[in-house]
Amino acid sequence: METRLIEDVAAFAQLEPFWNPIVVQSSSNTCHSTFEWLFTWWRYFSADRHLLLLVAYEHGMPAGLAPLYVGNGATESRDLHFLGQGLSDYADFIVPRDRLDIMEELVATVLAYRQLWNGVDLEEIPSESPSRGLLDRLRQVGGTPAVWQTTVRCPYLPIEGSWEAFYAAMGKGFRHEVRNKSNRWNKLNSCPGKGQELCYVDRREVDGVFVNEVVALSDKRRSVDGHRSPFLNHPDQEFLREVLPLMGRRNQLRVTEVRSGNALLAFMLAYHWQGIVYTWNTQYDPALTAYSLGRIALVKLAEQSFREGCRELDFMRGEEPYKFEWTTLFRTNLALRSERTAQPTGDVQTLPGRGTVQVVEGERST
């Protein structure tokens, strides 16, 4: 086994044929570990940053990945970060399950390049990650002690049985509200020839026209209540304009739209990877709050996920109450941060383009 350091985008691009097959074998097998997501992210967010992508090779073939970069030291500290940090809901080393030897090799190589970084700021590591124990080796290196912190819960729903049985279990009150809000809209807008009844679109690919609609809807919501959206930030928006069509072409995207006529009233944007549907961004017209269109969009996405034979609906990071209407199950994400950058317990973090999350507790590994 040997490990190589990748520092330029051209060498990064050459890893594409090998990247996703390693992801599928790994415990970090999520939509935000894919080549499409991380390579595109680096193209838009690499300015003045140093790529520190480590690749473990076995018999001459890529076998494990440490997708890292180092801050520039001018506008941000020279800490280790994961590629995608800020917009990714999950991040980790990408190593086949039960291959701790590869993980050990990658961590040892990170330490061997200690002259390139001053500390660590590694976010959104799943608490059950097998890399956690090995990452402890980074905690005391070079006099920069680091702490483990719990950042956020990530609710999820295993998909089992039929949609009809599951939806019935959601309760009469929930079903009644969804049905009544939809009926109420259609009753007011179903005059002959008007053509303004609610309609639902299951979209698998997106283009610039759709993104423009999303931007307009998100801006309308922000103007009313200040709601944040990655579609209104730069370069987040430019990144999404490229990565979403790419993921759509590769069957990694699911979008449910709620429309009336030609107008987009609400949407639920989700990623699809290895039988899991990841809900990532939703928006609705704030003038139509009374119709619960965001909830209706999620119901339609969930129904489609059941009928498609998916195995899980992952609501991703964030503890919004609507997610816990669907499930009581959740996973927990961690961050490993140098103490000088660690969030005090109980503080609220602002995540670029993704809203705020609560730091639940600080934890020191032993």
The predicted pLDDT at position 342 comes to 66
Using one digit for the tens of pLDDT, what is the confidence trace for 343-352?
A: 665 444 444 3
CA angle, corner 207, sides to 205 and 211, nearest 5? 110
Sketch the domain layout of the chain as residue ranges.
Answer: 2-152+332-363, 160-310
Q: Which residue has the tokens 């490993």?
A: 336
Nearest in space to 138 (alpha carbons), one of 154, 116, 153, 156: 116
The predicted pLDDT at position 139 comes to 85
The predicted pLDDT at position 193 comes to 52
> How far is 65 from 242, CA to CA, in rounded Å?
24
CATH class of 160-310: alpha beta
Q: Which residue has the tokens 């030897």?
A: 101
The predicted pLDDT at position 347 comes to 45
The reported pTM is 0.91
- In 46-171, which residue ranges form alpha helices assigned H by DSSP? 100-112, 132-135, 163-169
- Enumerate residue ranges in the chain where pLDDT < 50: 346-366
The predicted pLDDT at position 190 comes to 65
The predicted pLDDT at position 254 comes to 97
Intrachain domains 2-152+332-363 and 160-310 with the same fold: yes
* Helix-, strand-, coil-residue percentages of the chain, each rounded to 5: 40, 30, 30
Q: Which residue has the tokens 């506008």?
A: 75
Assigned CATH topology for domain 2-152+332-363: Aminopeptidase (3.40.630)
The predicted pLDDT at position 194 comes to 56
The predicted pLDDT at position 352 comes to 37
The predicted pLDDT at position 196 comes to 76
Positive or negative, the CA dihedral 261, 223, 298, 204 is positive
